[in-house]
Homo-oligomer: A and B are copies of this chain.
Amino acid sequence: MTLPTVAQKYRQHSPLVFCLTNTVVTNFTANVLLASGASPAMTDLPGEAGPFAAVASAVLVNLGTPSTEQMVAMEEAVLSASAAGTPWVLDPVAVGALPVRTDFARRIVQHHPTLIRGNASEILALAGKDSSGRGVDAADTVQAALDAGRELAKEHECVVAISGEADAIIDTNRTVLVHTNGIGLTRITGGGCALGAFNAGMLAVREDPFEAAIAAHGLYGLAAEKALAASTGPGSFAVAFLDALAATEPEELENLKYEELNHG
């Protein structure tokens, strides 16, 4: 399997990505999935989340703005996805900085996520290390979170993706840095959160999850580079990014710059 092939399968299958996510980014997340060729669907209701997670192509659980009821639905979705073999992504937004979601994240991460995606501070905090995140912003470098990412990958037998100046993709025995210029994505809300959903969709292809994550981060970053060149500020960047995501072809992943690191 090569990266372009994974991305081609994504477009062919148009995965149905069930997102339990935060109220700030629901719209952008759905539009990112649509632009990239997938089909988004949301419900945060107990009694629906479980059955839907069993039939969806993949599930995203993003802890940005949990409500008591949404957390019940999330736990239901995660148990159901895990039982049905549906790939699921955990995005531990602001874990470490905010208490309720930190406890919740540490509990649901036990249910075998296929991938964990966060910034460096969130990955450090989820692994139980000291972190310096404030709110949703990372205050730690990707480099500083690599060991924490490797611990999480090993403990939960999953892929860990750390977003930052370069994105690190880690599994139980490999570490890769994906080099794209994603600076524009840090200037709009939802840049990271929607990437969690895109990862979920790429996992739905059911190829190597490590390659799926590289393909997701790579395509996303390539589209962000195009959008940066085509825009004059954060408003026009968000618009150009969706256009670029729809126009970026799987083959462009052939030229993606990434480097394999010594795995710790």
Residues of A within 8 A of B (CB): 16, 18, 22-28, 30-31, 34-35, 39-45, 47-48, 51-52, 55-56, 64-69, 94, 97-101, 134-137, 187-190, 231-236, 238-244, 246-247
Contact = CB atoms under 8 A, between A and B. Distances in A.
Q: Give chain A's interface secondary structure class.
A: mixed
A16 B65 CA distance: 16
Number of identical protomers? 3
B48 A18 contact: no
A135 B45 contact: no
Contacts of A69: 67-69
A41 to B, nearest CB: 3
A24 B34 CA distance: 13
B48 A24 contact: no
A42 B65 contact: yes
Contact of A48 (B101, B234, B247): B101
A33 to B, nearest CB: 8
A35 B242 contact: no
Contacts of A51: 98-99
Given A31-B238, A39-B135, A45-B66, 19 more contacts: A16-B135, A24-B42, A27-B190, A30-B190, A35-B187, A40-B135, A41-B136, A43-B66, A43-B94, A48-B99, A52-B98, A67-B69, A232-B247, A233-B242, A233-B244, A233-B247, A234-B246, A235-B241, A236-B240
